[in-house]
């Protein structure tokens, strides 16, 4: 789609180019309706159910994924906007054995689990930018997402523990 | 082999929940399913004059349109725990803004929404009562001109219930014990009024259900805490034998009491009957605010004391804001009324607790179940009385606290935690608090009867040829770790590694019977059922092994699916194969648990155990803004024996943060029946930054629980004492008493501006 | 929720109909698209607000995805004005050296609005155009005397902050730049510790040796209110200055949760503290 079209046309349909993006490390090409959210794409088209739909307003962060390494609410993102980009979900992080998954599991930093995928994705984005975050930084980052079950303290501890594990190699 | 209760033992659902593999109700799909959406009333109270849904059916993809006129003949369209007053869709009247007026099933949600837009409704607004006071005022409009049907439960000594004692009160619970003349011998009688706010459960997983129904049978997949009670209610409504209704329950993404009894299921079932296809109804998050909530309350406490601080008598008048439909409100009224004395000795208790119907979102089971409301009022008043008498709040409590072995009230289970020791523990953990302007200390003790009333639980434990253990039980996993703890219990009995124990999915056709996952009961009540089943199957295995080895079962010990006899270690798997052939075998045994009925107990059955929440708090009050900051919070509960210490810690801290929210800022705000903050951006719940700078939860294991290995339930205690502890600390800090929640900056600021100069209050 | 003749419907991202997406590369193309269609396309920047509009029943047939319009993504200081393109995200603004040097305290305040996660994606233009009382940039920008540069077709118009914020959204209009006049601007402070009840953004300008204060009071459910006054620092006591400014705080301003008397009182206290903080910091 090299030429901008001010008049507008459907992104789907015969002449619509497919959405090309990298999903959990694998190149994908999908023709998707323009009206589709990224959450719906991941959940309905790819069967990736680990990213949970909750508040549907971008506030709770349960639906967080990484887009080019940036944590973003997939419920508030159009699928077409990931064209040419890299998307990572909880399934990708878990398959790669990220220490955060192990830290959350070992330290019971979850209860109902509905916010957990989003928290792990968010924390990964933090550790990618700041491998040795101060506790206050972890708290500030985690305040981006809502957990109703844990009271947060155990999640903060899991992230700090994972930071040590990451840097210990 | 490590103990099944070692802290390193991971929850059974840890792997799934930290990898995105966990399956919830929202993830389920049934082939051919349609999607439902509903139309909700914009009015708090109105008559439905006319509904024209004719244009809705014409929308492409729409398969059914449901209004009251389309409800199948022969069904009983109203549900509720005690009072059956909530219709599947509104019939002639809408009673709160959000009440369901119509429903549509379509091939996708977009078509369903478009169809709903085509429905025209003519409403005739009616005068609305949107607060407790308004609903009880003389001449207030009546929500239910005709009293809906209900059955009063049987109570024991001193307790009674009444349906519809007066207008706009759907149920009233009363309890009385002791000598009414006790008030006359009191040195002082203090009367105080308290108001408790309403929060929303804010479970992150929305309400969701899929129903596949015919006139002969119903199957639902739903996010619910109580599969068998739901089965029973649906069977009653749709006139089917219970055994023709199957309820399937996956992992639940948070509930806190919200997901009890009918929510999405009746609408989905009717739409399925109309279309002949499965129907899924997944509510949006905002719709939760139109479905269920916590009870706001007005509590009037009249407490008589002696001059030295001894509590003598308490008369309580409590009004719960039940919202537009009763739901679980009568049960909450029972418990709020029952718990209002708190953990203290009284000579006379006289309580009435009413469910007041208002034109607002229905209120229902919410963590604490009336105990949070009761503790707010009672523990606040204890401090107030102490200060009026010139006694410290600590001394007042020390003098009156029930001791181990004291009955809570006559006929009730004795107190099974050392209440005084717990109080000392949290205060000691607080340490020396340096006095500073605006800084204060407060504490409180919350208590609730735990384990449910007359709850029955069944479990089955099965062991395969290779020693893999499976538990069948209907305890729902909603985050509290119960299913995992049950695996640990079985593992301990069978001396097997915990990761060899799994627990099978819940469906009411195959899972043994259970009254529901609530009242902090799973570890104790279902735990004992699992324990009994595990012991029984272990004994079967040892008997089998003894026969195979030609010895007495008493000589054998089970260890990691081997039979140990002195120095010998025999593989049971091999013995099984030898006895049963290559196909092998599966051992299986059942267990059952229920507390006995006892007419001497006020609630007709003594409670299983006492769940206590202790809290001590240091606050800083900013006189300029009225803002209260929690500098230090110590909470504690007694798990008896902690099956999983990390789970206990998480439950305590999670509950405590809910209490912090209730104390300081969280509430549903209604203005004339219109909900002002029912959306995720505006409704403020605690975030990580709201956790107090110093936040400690202490897990006590006093060892006196009736559950397996001395365990007690541990899920709700943490929320109970927080609000009162904060209010007590605020009074200690700046000398003002806030009796209405939340303890908002504006309330504190206003109280400070009205304050008469006086000496700083006494401290612990 | 969406209101219809029959009642309330829970619309969402899943209930919107098919959309056509227009992805302009230039500002002129974007503006042309807004003028061309009988139903103007919905402007999509970061998208953090559009999902909320879907929940409220918004169901556009066309979406104008402007993330690719490079002209709107820059932050520039031309000496008179700090010009911020509408597509600048909060994270970009917060870390912008240009912004930090141009307006002391502003980038630091920008770094604290919303949440970490939202700041990566949400844009200053989206935050302002949404006109939601809970969003914070309007409060900061009102204090800074910001102007909003908008395009409608071929026309450019520059609005002062409060008139722009108080008028209803114009569907064919595109906010292109936020412009903060730099003349005399010597300090900026944003107090959000009492959020969501009340927030205070304070901008201080020095003209002809005198300090001029512009305060924007942000509320939970109302548009910001601006107060102005002089500060004869250090002669004037901070508390007295705050009191003087809040004398003009309107009597009717308050809502169902927060009374006018409280807002006036607390606002005055918070402002006094901010002024003291700035004075102690070496203003």
Neighbours of B410 (CB within 10 A): 13
Q: Assess A54–C contact: CB distance below 8 Å, yes or no.
A: no
β-strands C174-181, C81-85: how paired? antiparallel
Calpha distance B37→B116 (Å, rounded): 8
Neighbours of A22 (CB within 10 A): 16
B49 contacts A76 by C-beta, under 8 angstroms = no
Closest Cα to residue B625, out of A18, C194, A57?
Answer: C194
Query: Strand pairing partners for B564?
Result: B557, B569
The partner residue sitting opposite C5, judged by closest CB among B41, B120, B624, is B120
Q: In chain A, which segments carry CATH 3.10.20.30?
A: 19-92
Question: Do C89 and C120 fall within a single domain?
Answer: yes
Residue A38, pLDDT > 70, answer yes
Q: What is the predicted pLDDT for the residue at A4? A: 41
Question: Do C112 and C161 fall within a single domain?
Answer: yes
Question: Do C262 and C197 fall within a single domain?
Answer: yes
Q: What is the predicted pLDDT for the residue at B272? A: 98
Question: Do C156 and C258 fall within a single domain?
Answer: no
Q: What is the predicted pLDDT for the residue at B762? A: 44
Three-state SS for A34-79 is: CCCEHHHHHHHHCCCCCCCCCCCCCCCCCCEEEECCEEEEHHHCEH
Question: Do C108 and C176 fall within a single domain?
Answer: yes
β-strands A26-30, A19-23: how paired? antiparallel
Partners of residue B659 in chain A, C-beta under 8 Å:
none
| For C37, nearest residue in chain A (alpha carbons) | A7
Work out the pLDDT band at A16, boundaries 50, 70, 90.
low
Work out the pLDDT band at A12, boundaries 50, 70, 90.
very low
State pLDDT tens for residues B121-138.
Answer: 999 999 999 999 999 999
State pLDDT tens for residues B699-737.
Answer: 999 999 999 999 999 999 999 999 999 999 999 999 999
State pLDDT tens for residues A121-164.
Answer: 999 999 999 999 999 999 999 999 999 999 999 999 999 999 99
State pLDDT tens for residues B618-644.
Answer: 999 999 999 999 999 999 999 999 999
Question: Do C83 and C155 fall within a single domain?
Answer: yes
Closest Cα to residue C81, out of C152, C144, C155, C159?
Answer: C144
Alpha carbon separation from B51 to A164, B36, B470, B593, C146 (Å, rounded): 63, 19, 52, 50, 51
How many domains does the structure of chain C reveal?
3
More reliable by pLDDT, C189 or A166: C189
Which residues, 6 or more positions from B473, have their beta carbon under 8 angstroms from its beta carbon? Answer: B457, B458, B459, B460, B486, B503, B511, B512, B514, B526, B529, B530
Residue C167 to chain B, least CA–CA distance (Å): 22
Q: Which domains does chain B have, with CATH numbers?
A: 25-128+201-288 (3.90.1170.50), 296-402+414-452+600-754 (3.30.365.10), 455-594 (3.30.365.10)
Q: In chain A, which segments carry CATH 1.10.150.120?
A: 97-168
Residue B373, pLDDT > 90, answer yes
Q: Assess C50–A contact: CB distance below 8 Å, yes or no.
A: yes
Domain boundary among C181, C202, C233: C181
DSSP for B567-617, written as a single string: TEEEEHHHHHHHHH-TT--EEEEEEEEEPPP-TTSTTSS--SEEEEEEEEE
State pLDDT tens for residues B458-469.
Answer: 999 999 999 999
Q: What is the predicted pLDDT for the residue at B725? A: 98
Q: What is the predicted pLDDT for the residue at B763? A: 43
B700 contacts B598 by C-beta, under 8 angstroms = no
Contact C194 B749 (CB under 8 A): no
Counted residue by residue, chain A has a size of 169
Residue A126 to chain C, least CA–CA distance (Å): 10
More reliable by pLDDT, B687 or B764: B687
Question: What is the percentage of chain A residues whose pLDDT exceeds 70?
Answer: 90
State pLDDT tens for residues C5-63.
Answer: 899 999 999 999 999 999 999 999 999 999 999 999 999 999 999 999 999 999 999 99
Contact C11 B113 (CB under 8 A): yes
**CATH classification at residue C23:** 3.30.43
What is the residue range of C256's domain?
185-280
Interface of B with A in 458-497 (CB under 8 A): 478-481
Domain boundary among C127, C157, C181: C181
State pLDDT tens for residues B191-200.
Answer: 999 999 999 9
The partner residue sitting opposite A141, judged by closest CB among C14, C22, C116, is C116
Calpha distance B685→B757 (Å, rounded): 36
Q: What is the predicted pLDDT for the residue at B459? A: 98
Calpha distance A150→B202 (Å, rounded): 13
Domain A19-92 part of CATH 3.10.20.30? yes
Calpha distance B421→B397 (Å, rounded): 12
Partners of residue A37 in chain C, C-beta under 8 Å:
13-14, 51
State pLDDT tens for residues B519-572.
Answer: 999 999 999 999 999 999 999 999 999 999 999 999 999 999 999 999 999 999
The CATH-assigned architecture of domain A97-168 is: Orthogonal Bundle (1.10)
Calpha distance C160→C165 (Å, rounded): 9
**CATH classification at residue C260:** 3.30.390
Q: What is the pTM of this model?
A: 0.97
Q: What is the predicted pLDDT for the residue at B494? A: 98
Alpha carbon separation from C238 to C144, C206, C210, C220, C272 (Å, rounded): 20, 16, 15, 26, 5
Residue B584 to chain C, least CA–CA distance (Å): 51
CB-count burial class (<10 Å; 0-12, 13-18, 19+) for B681: middle
Q: What is the predicted pLDDT for the residue at A169? A: 56
Q: What's the mean pLDDT in C148-154?
A: 96
Question: Do C158 and C97 fall within a single domain?
Answer: yes
Residue A5, pLDDT > 60, answer no
Residue A13, pLDDT > 70, answer no
State pLDDT tens for residues C97-110.
Answer: 999 999 999 999 99
State pLDDT tens for residues B472-484.
Answer: 999 999 999 999 9
Q: What's the mean pLDDT in A59-72?
A: 98
Maximum alpha-carbon separation in chain C: 64
Torsion of CA A48, A139, B644, B529, to 10 degrees: -60
Q: What is the predicted pLDDT for the residue at A166? A: 83
Contact A148 B647 (CB under 8 A): no
Alpha carbon separation from C191 to C95, C131, C140 (Å, rounded): 19, 20, 10
A104 contacts A126 by C-beta, under 8 angstroms = no
Closest Cα to residue B371, out of B739, B721, B637?
Answer: B721
Residue B647 to chain A, least CA–CA distance (Å): 7
B219 contacts B248 by C-beta, under 8 angstroms = yes
Calpha distance C90→C86 (Å, rounded): 10
B153 contacts B597 by C-beta, under 8 angstroms = no
Q: What is the predicted pLDDT for the residue at B2? A: 75
State pLDDT tens for residues B62-76.
Answer: 999 999 999 999 999
Residue B457, pLDDT > 80, answer yes
Which residues, 6 or more positions from B335, have their beta carbon under 8 angstroms from its beta carbon? Answer: B369, B370, B371, B448, B449
The 3-state DSSP class for residue B540 equals helix
CB-count burial class (<10 Å; 0-12, 13-18, 19+) for B552: exposed
């Amino acid at each position: 789609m090299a030429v901008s079209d001010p008049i507008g046309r459907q992104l789907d349909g015969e002449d619509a180019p497919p959405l090309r993006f990298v999903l959990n490390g694998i190149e994908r090409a999908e023709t998707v309706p323009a009206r589709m959210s990224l959450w719906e794409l991941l959940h309905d088209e790819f069967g990736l159910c680990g990213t949970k739909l909750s508040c549907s307003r971008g506030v709770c962060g349960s639906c967080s994924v990484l887009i080019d390494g940036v944590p973003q609410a997939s419920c508030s993102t159009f699928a077409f906007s990931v064209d040419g980009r890299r998307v990572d979900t909880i399934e990708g992080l878990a398959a790669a054995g990220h220490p955060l998954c192990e830290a959350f599991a070992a330290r019971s930093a979850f209860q109902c689990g509905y916010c957990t995928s989003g928290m792990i994705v968010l924390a990964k984005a933090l550790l990618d930018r700041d491998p040795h975050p101060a506790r206050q930084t972890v708290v500030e980052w985690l305040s981006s997402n809502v957990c109703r079950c844990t009271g947060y303290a155990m999640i903060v501890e899991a992230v700090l523990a994972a930071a040590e594990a990451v840097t210990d190699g | 082999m490590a103990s099944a209760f070692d802290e390193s033992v991971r929850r059974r659902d840890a792997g799934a929940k930290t990898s995105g593999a966990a399956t919830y109700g929202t993830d389920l799909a049934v082939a051919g399913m349609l999607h439902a959406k509903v139309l909700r009333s914009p009015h708090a109270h109105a008559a439905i004059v006319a509904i024209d849904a004719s244009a809705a059916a014409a929308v492409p993809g729409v398969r059914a349109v449901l209004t009251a006129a389309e409800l199948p003949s022969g069904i009983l369209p109203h549900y509720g725990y005690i009072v059956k007053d909530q219709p599947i869709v509104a019939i002639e009247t809408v009673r709160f803004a959000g009440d369901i007026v119509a429903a549509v099933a379509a091939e996708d949600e977009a078509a369903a929404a478009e169809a709903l837009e085509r429905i025209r409704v003519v409403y005739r607004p009616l005068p609305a009562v949107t607060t407790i006071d308004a609903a009880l005022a003389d001449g207030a409009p009546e929500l239910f001109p005709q009293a809906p049907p209900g059955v009063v439960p049987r109570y024991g000594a001193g307790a009674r219930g009444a349906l519809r004692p007066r207008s706009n009160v759907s149920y009233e619970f009363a309890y009385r014990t002791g000598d009414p003349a006790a008030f006359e011998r009191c040195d002082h009688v203090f009367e105080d009024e308290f108001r408790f706010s309403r929060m929303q459960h804010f479970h992150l997983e929305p309400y969701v259900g899929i129903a596949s129904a015919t006139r002969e049978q119903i199957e639902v997949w739903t996010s619910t805490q109580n599969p068998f009670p739901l089965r029973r209610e649906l069977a009653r409504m749709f006139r089917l034998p219970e055994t023709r209704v199957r309820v399937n329950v996956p992992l639940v993404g948070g509930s806190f009491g919200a997901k009890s009894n009918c929510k999405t299921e009746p609408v989905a079932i009717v739409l399925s009957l109309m279309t002949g296809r499965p129907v899924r109804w997944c509510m949006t998050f905002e719709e939760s605010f139109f479905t269920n909530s916590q009870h706001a309350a007005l509590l009037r406490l009249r407490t008589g004391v002696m001059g030295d601080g001894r509590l003598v008598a308490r008369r309580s008048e409590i009004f719960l804001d039940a919202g537009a439909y009763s739901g679980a409100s009568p049960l909450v009224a029972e418990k709020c009324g029952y718990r209002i004395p708190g953990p203290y000795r009284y000579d006379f208790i006289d309580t009435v607790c009413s469910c007041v119907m208002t034109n607002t979102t229905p209120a229902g089971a919410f963590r604490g179940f009336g105990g949070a409301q009761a503790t707010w009022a009672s523990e606040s008043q204890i401090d107030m009385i102490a200060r009026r008498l010139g006694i410290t709040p600590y001394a007042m409590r020390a003098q009156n606290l029930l001791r181990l072995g004291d009955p809570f009230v006559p006929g009730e289970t004795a107190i099974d935690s050392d209440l005084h020791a717990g109080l000392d523990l949290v205060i000691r953990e607080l340490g020396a608090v340096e006095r500073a302007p605006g800084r204060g200390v407060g504490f409180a003790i919350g208590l609730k009867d735990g384990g449910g009333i007359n709850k029955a639980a069944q479990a089955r434990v099965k062991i395969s040829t290779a020693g893999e253990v499976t538990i069948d039980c209907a305890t729902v996993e909603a985050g509290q770790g119960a299913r995992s703890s049950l695996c640990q219990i079985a593992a301990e009995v069978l001396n097997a590694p915990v990761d060899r124990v799994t627990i099978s999915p819940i469906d009411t056709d195959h899972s043994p019977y259970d009254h529901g996952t609530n009242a902090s009961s799973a570890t104790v009540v279902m735990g004992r059922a699992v324990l009994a089943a595990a012991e029984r199957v272990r004994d079967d295995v040892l008997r089998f092994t003894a026969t195979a080895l030609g010895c007495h079962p008493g000589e054998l010990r089970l260890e990691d699916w081997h039979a140990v006899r002195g120095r010998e270690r025999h593989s049971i798997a091999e013995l099984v194969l030898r006895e049963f052939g290559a196909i092998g075998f599966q051992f299986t045994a059942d267990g059952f648990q229920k507390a006995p009925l006892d007419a001497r107990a006020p609630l007709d059955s003594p409670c299983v155990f006492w769940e206590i929440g202790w809290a001590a708090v240091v606050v800083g009050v900013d006189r300029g803004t009225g803002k209260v900051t929690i500098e230090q919070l110590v909470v504690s509960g007694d798990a008896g024996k902690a099956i999983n210490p990390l789970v206990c810690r998480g439950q305590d801290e999670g509950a405590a943060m809910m209490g912090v929210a209730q104390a300081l800022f969280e509430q549903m705000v209604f203005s004339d029946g219109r909900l002002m903050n029912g959306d995720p951006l505006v409704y403020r719940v605690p975030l990580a930054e709201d956790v107090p700078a110093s936040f400690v939860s202490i897990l006590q294991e006093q060892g006196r629980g009736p559950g397996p290995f001395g365990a007690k339930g541990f899920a709700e205690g943490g929320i109970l004492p927080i609000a009162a502890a904060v209010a007590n600390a605020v009074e200690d800090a700046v000398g003002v008493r806030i009796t209405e929640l939340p303890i908002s900056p504006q309330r504190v600021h206003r109280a400070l501006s009205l304050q008469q100069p006086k000496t700083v209050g006494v401290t612990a | 929720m969406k209101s219809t003749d029959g009642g309330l419907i829970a619309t969402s991202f899943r209930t919107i109909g098919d959309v056509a997406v227009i992805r302009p590369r230039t500002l002129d193309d974007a503006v042309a698209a807004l003028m061309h269609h009988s139903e103007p396309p919905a402007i999509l920047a970061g998208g953090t607000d559009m999902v909320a509009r879907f929940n409220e029943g918004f169901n556009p047939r066309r979406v104008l995805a402007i993330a690719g319009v490079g002209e709107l993504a820059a932050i520039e200081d031309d000496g008179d004005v700090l010009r911020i393109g509408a597509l600048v995200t909060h994270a970009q603004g917060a870390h912008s050296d240009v912004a930090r040097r141009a307006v002391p305290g502003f980038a630091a305040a920008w770094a604290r609005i919303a949440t970490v996660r939202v700041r990566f994606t949400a844009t200053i233009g989206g935050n302002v155009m949404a006109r939601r009382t809970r969003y914070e940039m309007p409060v900061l920008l009102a204090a800074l005397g910001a102007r909003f540069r908008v395009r409608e077709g071929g026309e450019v118009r520059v609005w002062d902050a409060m008139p722009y914020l108080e008028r209803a959204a114009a569907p064919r209009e595109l906010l292109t730049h936020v412009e903060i006049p730099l003349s005399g601007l010597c300090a900026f402070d944003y107090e959000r510790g009492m959020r969501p009840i009340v927030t205070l953004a304070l901008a201080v300008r020095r003209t002809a040796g005198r300090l001029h204060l512009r305060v924007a009071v942000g509320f939970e459910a109302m548009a910001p209110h601006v107060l102005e006054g002089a500060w004869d620092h250090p002669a004037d006591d901070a508390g007295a200055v705050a009191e003087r400014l809040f004398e003009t705080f309107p009597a009717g301003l308050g809502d169902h949760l927060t009374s006018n008397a409280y807002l006036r009182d607390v606002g005055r206290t918070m402002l006094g503290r901010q002024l003291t903080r700035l004075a102690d910091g070496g203003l």
